[in-house]
Amino acid sequence: MTARALSIPRTALVIVMAIPFVAPFLYLIATALRTRDDYIGSRVGFPQELTLSHVRYVWNTADLGRAMVNSLITSTIAVAVLILVSAMAGYWFLRHTSWMARVLLGLIVSLWVIPFVIYLLPLFVILSDAGLTDNLAVLGVVYAATNLPFGVFFMFTYLRNGIPSDVFEAAQVDGASTFREFFWIVLPLSRPALATLAALGFVWTWGDLLLSLVMLQTEDNYTLTVAASAFITRTDAGVQELAAAALVAIAPLIVVFLLAQRAIERGFVAGVGK
Amino acid sequence: MTSSLSQCDSHEASGLANPSSPSPPLLGRAWCHLTDTLWVAPALFLVVAIMVIPSAVAIGHSFTDWTPGYESPWVGLQNYRDLLSQPVYHEVLRNQAFLLIGLPLWVLFPLVVAALLYERVPAAAVFRTIFFFPAILSPAIIGILFRTLLADDGAINETVRSIGLGFLAQDWLVQANLVKPTLIIVLAWAGMGTGVVIFAAALSAVPTELFDAAEIDGASWLQRFRYVLIPSIAHVIVFWAVFQVVAVFLFIFGWVWVLTRGGPGYASTTMDFDVYQNSLNFGFFGLAAAESVLLFGIVLAIVSVGWLATRAVRRSRT
């Protein structure tokens, strides 16, 4: 493998293409954190005077603190259910190679092509009749379910490609039960895949609006996206307040991204490399 | 293979009975198989209860004059006939087709970036992070930002005016002839990160000797891109293109809802947004159900064709 020469035109092209992916975030941060006078003076210029007053204002008026806790509860439940149920199902499909099991796996995986809008309303009616709407735990389970077609497929593929089958054979020679094998071998060995699935499940649940919007009725239960988007429609919300609301909604995702970017990329490499 | 993994009968390749092996007591085996299905039962229960049954209910109700909570009389194919005879629905279908014009952009942008990062670029990891971060943000969150960027007095127009190119300033989300092209660009932005990571992963499996040899032979960057890079990951490119087409039908709702609410008029109303609008805003539940069934059918057709195309490309390589 020869070391490739550094190419100036290519580097310049990458930088130019990166501008639209950096500039909006710089604008967002600047707009949310600068004083009103400073913003009016030059809207897209470099900020001179910083303030937290816009963030404080939206935090208090839109009750974003409570909304953030609600989003955390929903996302945590969604992630826990998603990774546990996906790993269990992936493990079952690893052990069952009959054509019926294969068809079942194919059916579950193919459910991702069902448009969300087709089952949204009937699901709401069913849950509403059972008194299960406006409930963060139920919402979390629903989010987990909508991500299961991906989760089951992902865990099955990882277990099949990422763990050598003689590990299982050795465990069986030792007389390990399915239960022990799952908790002592499968789960510890699939930690990278579980991290990837958890990160994806978290950002998908955290970011979704439609399902929360339909399933939650009382303001005390609003998730962050619902509370922030309800804030948009307020007539007194200016650009700076909107930017502050968006910044609050994005901040937790930045943390997750910094923690999990490597996990997600590792997951990709494990999936594609084999 | 994993034939010895079935715990109920270690001599049995699960599902395939081996007549020569002695059977354990029947009741014990049945019990074992029953408890064994508990591993897959939670997944099955959740997808059936939350996705399959409600979808079946919607399909059934597409043949009725559906009013949730009240009697819904059977009307046969009336909803479908009404839908297909509405000029508004024709506009929605045309919008959907128009958006597909963006497909070359959605494929080419991430492919070029992945190719540039694959060859030597300083701080490639930083660039990957920059391109990838937006991929984890949903339209509900990033849409707030885009609304302020694209507004008449928003940052994009302000920037354009401040550098003396004011004639380029437009009301991007309000002008009927601009809203769909704007949406195409926004979708290109949103899909970039995922595309780059998928193409980068595919490229990391390609031996660099291929590119080195081409470079030694005097191939320009463009030639290497066209004749080495594209053929070596053709199956991933086709897969990504199919995924993007499906995404235009499945995942566009959030952007339309946040940015335009389908407007101006119906100029940016997509199929999934129209289902939402017809049911939850206008109360035409039966019509919306029929519309969602048609959408489902289209997605199924695209996925089937795309699956065959990916398989054909994969086969032609080996």
A193 token code pair: 């895949």
Residues of chain B with Cβ-Cβ distance to A123 below 8 Å are: 50, 54
Q: Is B283 helix (H, G, I), strand (E, B) or coil?
A: coil
In a domain, B128, yes or no: yes
Residues A42 and A163 in one domain: no
Residue A67 confidence (pLDDT) above 50: yes
Phi/psi at A181 (5° precision): -60, -40
Q: Domain total for chain A?
A: 2
- Whether this prediction's pTM lies above 0.90 is answered by no
pLDDT of residue A268: 55
Residues A7 and A143 in one domain: no
Residues of chain A with Cβ-Cβ distance to B293 below 8 Å are: 118
Are B159 and A44 a contacting pair at CB < 8 A? yes
The DSSP output letter for B52 is I
What's the CATH code of the domain at A73?
1.10.3720.10
In a domain, B247, yes or no: yes
B53-75 pLDDT per residue, tens: 999 999 999 998 888 878 888 88
Contact status, residue A67 vs residue A226, Cβ threshold 8 Å: yes
CA distances from A101 to A94, A108, B105 (A): 10, 11, 39
Q: Which of residues 18-57 of B touch A (CB under 8 A)?
A: 36-37, 39-40, 42-44, 46-47, 49-55, 57
Dihedral over alpha carbons A32, A36, A41, A46 (to 10 degrees): -30
Domain enclosing residue B234, as ranges: 88-317
B17–chain A Cβ distance below 8 A for any pair = no
Residue B87 confidence (pLDDT) above 50: yes
- The reply to whether ipTM tops 0.95 is no
Phi/psi at A217 (5° precision): -110, -45
In a domain, B53, yes or no: no
Residues A163 and A42 in one domain: no
Residue B231 confidence (pLDDT) above 60: yes
B298–chain A Cβ distance below 8 A for any pair = no
For residue B13, the cross-strand partners are B16
Mean pLDDT, residues A170-193: 83
Are B138 and A146 a contacting pair at CB < 8 A? no
In a domain, B142, yes or no: yes
Please name the residue of chain B whose CA is at the shortest distance from the CA of residue A245: B144
Nearest to A94 among B2, B42, B69 (CB): B2
Nearest to B120 among A6, A207, A208 (CB): A6
Residues A125 and A8 in one domain: no
Residues A120 and A233 in one domain: yes
Residues A73 and A129 in one domain: yes
Computed over every residue of chain A, the mean pLDDT equals 85
A144 token code pair: 């987990």
∠ Cα B115 B120 B125 (to 5°): 80
How far is the C-alpha of A167 from the C-alpha of A145, rounded, in Å?
Answer: 30
Residues of chain B with Cβ-Cβ distance to A207 below 8 Å are: 136-141
Contacts of A259 (CB under 8 A, 6+ apart): A199
Residues A188 and A253 in one domain: yes
Residues A135 and A268 in one domain: yes
B17-42 pLDDT per residue, tens: 444 445 557 777 788 888 888 999 99
Domain enclosing residue A138, as ranges: 64-273
Confidence of residue B76 (pLDDT cuts 50, 70, 90): confident
Are B43 and A86 a contacting pair at CB < 8 A? yes
DSSP of A58-79 = HHHHTTHHHHHHHHHHHHHHHH
B191-219 pLDDT per residue, tens: 898 888 888 888 887 887 888 888 888 88
Share of chain B above pLDDT 90, in %: 29
Find the radius of gyration of the CA atoms of chain B.
Answer: 26
Helix (H) or strand (E) holding B265: none
Residues A30 and A86 in one domain: no
A63 token code pair: 């009750």
Confidence of residue A267 (pLDDT cuts 50, 70, 90): low
Residues A77 and A3 in one domain: no
Report which residue type is found at A234.
R
Q: Which of residues 54-113 of B touch A (CB under 8 A)?
A: 54-55, 57-59, 61, 68-69, 109, 112-113
Confidence of residue A269 (pLDDT cuts 50, 70, 90): low
∠ Cα A258 A199 A69 (to 5°): 85
Residues of chain B with Cβ-Cβ distance to A265 below 8 Å are: 197, 201
B229–chain A Cβ distance below 8 A for any pair = no
Residues A18 and A151 in one domain: no
Are B130 and A18 a contacting pair at CB < 8 A? yes
In a domain, A57, yes or no: no
What's the CATH code of the domain at B198?
1.10.3720.10
Nearest to B149 among A24, A86, A160 (CB): A24
B238-260 pLDDT per residue, tens: 888 988 998 899 888 888 988 88
Distance from CA of B186 to the nearest CA of A (A): 11
In a domain, A59, yes or no: no
In a domain, B261, yes or no: yes
Report which residue type is found at A76.
T
- Which parts of B87-239 are beta strand (E)? none
Q: How many beta-carbon pairs under 8 angstroms link A with B?
A: 290
Contact status, residue B306 vs residue B246, Cβ threshold 8 Å: yes
Q: Domain total for chain B?
A: 1
